Amino acid sequence: MSDDVSLDSADDVNTIDDEDGHEDDDLGNRVSGGTPLAVVTYLVHAITSDPDSVVINTEEQGDSVRFRIHVAPDDMGRVIGRRGRVAQAIRTVVAAAGARDGIRTSVDIDDD
């Protein structure tokens, strides 16, 4: 009996990256816009008084993602802020999260 174990390339799910030595087993399991979506969801839920009524729709086009935020009518002022400052801050933070993933983002607040 031999102690040597050989794996076919199909059996070897986890591969070692030569640059940093870490396993890269989740490269194919990434959601486009996952980090910016998590950021916008966290921010909007934290700002609103009724987080259960928050709906965030995503539209993907190439390397960009558009987030459409729907909130309760009472929370529109909280999400937009005075002179749109809160909305602009949300856009800035989400854009930074998207840049980290190499994705351009836009955030729209719908009043439907």
Domain range spanning residue 79?
Answer: 31-110
What is the 3-class SS of the chain, one letter each residue? Answer: CCCCCCCCCCCCCCCECCCCCCECCCHHHCCCCHHHHHHHHHHHHHHCCCHHHCEEEEEEECCEEEEEEECCHHHHHHHHCHHHHHHHHHHHHHHHHHHHHCCEEEEEEECC
Residue 20 domain flag: no
How confident is the model over 24-71, as pLDDT tens digits?
A: 555 554 566 789 999 999 999 999 999 999 999 999 988 899 999 999
How many structural domains does the chain have? 1
Q: What is the CATH number of the domain that holds 96?
A: 3.30.300.20
- Asked if residue 36 is part of any domain, the answer here is yes
The verdict on pTM exceeding 0.85 is no
CB-CB contact of 36 with 94 (8 Å):
yes
Is 17 inside any structural domain?
no
